[in-house]
Amino acid sequence: MSAAKKSELGVTPLSEDVSAWYNELVFKAELADRGPAKGTMVIRPYGYRIWELLQEQLDQRFKDTGHVNAYFPLFIPQSYLQREAEHVEGFAPELAVVTHGGGKELEEPLVVRPTSETVIGEMYSRWITSYRDLPVLINAWNNVVRWELRPRIFLRTTEFLWQEGHTAHADQAEAMEETLRMFDVYAEFALNVAAIPMVKGEKTPTERFAGAVRTFTIEGMMRDGKALQSGTSHYLGTNFARAFDITYQDADNELQHVHTTSWGMSTRMIGAVILAHGDDQGLVLPPRLAPIQVVIVPIGRGEQGDAPRAKAHELAAELAAAGVRVHVDDRDASPGFKFNDWELKGVPLRVELGPRDLDAGQVLVAQRVGPIDDRGRPVKDTLSFERFVAGVPQRLDDYHDRLVVRAQAYLDEHRGRADDWDTFERLVRTGFADALHCGEEACEDDIKTATTASPRCIPTDGEPEEGACIRCGAPSAYGTRIVFARAY
């Protein structure tokens, strides 16, 4: 257990120990629990609702860009993975393999799906014969299993939920266009739904997805300055097409291999939301992913509380009719307990309604993150019932924007240019360092050993620059600075 003092909420303050705060908050806020098998997690209703909201909004973006959903098997013949040498080498340490079924040893071991490129490659080889069959734009929502040595709920678990898009195209140009389109979809989603501004870029060769020609990533900065890879999009070239003989006849009746892509975002994004926005008081949920956007707390015991409760439910019905996710907390508990509980769970707006407020035809509204008075308490707005109900949608949008500004400011404050090793070491202790690098794997490994920082990406918006590697002094390889950081 952390030596840091727990707050009255029963959670170690983030400002004292981020790791303890995160682990305790996941349980205390009823997001998830540990599963009975090592490294697995049980996602509780409050946490799963966040996933449902994420899924709904991301899936709509997939449909808007022409993709359709399908489902592929959980079990993959082991020989499939062995067809693409780099792919099987990259995933070998993480594979779970089934050797017995129905009380008998299997003729061929089955791998529990770590990702679906191989099984989908097999199916595409059956479905695609002509240029008229292209492009194929399929997404799958499923679970995958990767045997994690150091599991952490939402961030790295043996089994997790995600989506994985798999597309096939006639040529490189079309496949690269798709790769970058979905890369942009992830970055836009992170900003406009999760309220997390991302650093966008391409992975260095050593950090690419196993079997990919190019990998693009969005990297979020968490509240401890670490990076979290939050979504990736891969151009696979013809690597899997050649391994699985995915060919088509072009308009000139010539046989060609397709070019494929894959891209994914997982329940790790819930971890990103927790770590990018949370504070000493608990969760801070962006309104577009909050299971409850507005909680109304009627105040008053016994008969004194009957009228406020009735009015609270009346206001909640009006908000629900306008599409707001609202909850009335009429538990038999003190107002202070309720305020702390909903603050811990990150509800964006809290509304107080007591007998005096009812007589005055008004409510008190406090934001989870908002202005603070001289005594360190949230500033509460006094609003008439009508103004309150009418103003909630805009207030939620403004709250989202506030979180984006706060997260961007944190990123800007904890990211800097490193022109010498001392500066580099100082920057990666608390955030991101932009530095020139030679591109050599041995040098990357040396940097990791010295600082635990790794190359997160080659920024897509990086300015052209040449010079010497920050570590070894050899000529830089990428024509721009790359982002280094410690990472989850």
Do 236 and 332 lie in one domain? The reply is no
- Domain hosting 341: range is 294-398
Within 10 Å of residue 330's Cβ, how many Cβ atoms? 16
Do 263 and 313 lie in one domain? The reply is no
Do 269 and 330 lie in one domain? The reply is no
What is the rounded distance in angstroms from the CA atom of residue 374 to the CA atom of residue 180? Answer: 48
Do 259 and 311 lie in one domain? The reply is no
361: left (phi over 0), alpha (psi -120 to 50) or beta: left
The domain boundary, picked from 365, 398, 431, lies at: 398
Within 10 Å of residue 90's Cβ, how many Cβ atoms? 18
The predicted-structure confidence for 150-200, as pLDDT tens digits, reads as follows 899 999 999 999 999 999 999 999 999 999 999 999 999 999 999 999 999
Alpha helices, H only, 280-326: 306-321
Residue 150 is assigned to a structural domain of this protein: yes
Helix 385-413 to helix 306-321 angle (10° resolution) is 70
What is the rounded distance in angstroms from the CA atom of residue 451 to the CA atom of residue 440? Answer: 17
The predicted-structure confidence for 352-402, as pLDDT tens digits, reads as follows 999 999 999 999 999 999 888 777 778 899 999 999 999 999 999 999 999
Above 50 in pLDDT, residue 2? no
Q: Which two tokens stand for residue 342?
A: 């909903």
Q: Output the pLDDT for position 149.
A: 85
Domain count, the chain: 3
Do 252 and 309 lie in one domain? The reply is no
Do 146 and 205 lie in one domain? The reply is yes
Single pTM value for the model: 0.95
Residue 191 is assigned to a structural domain of this protein: yes
With a pLDDT cut of 70, the percent of the chain lying above it is 98
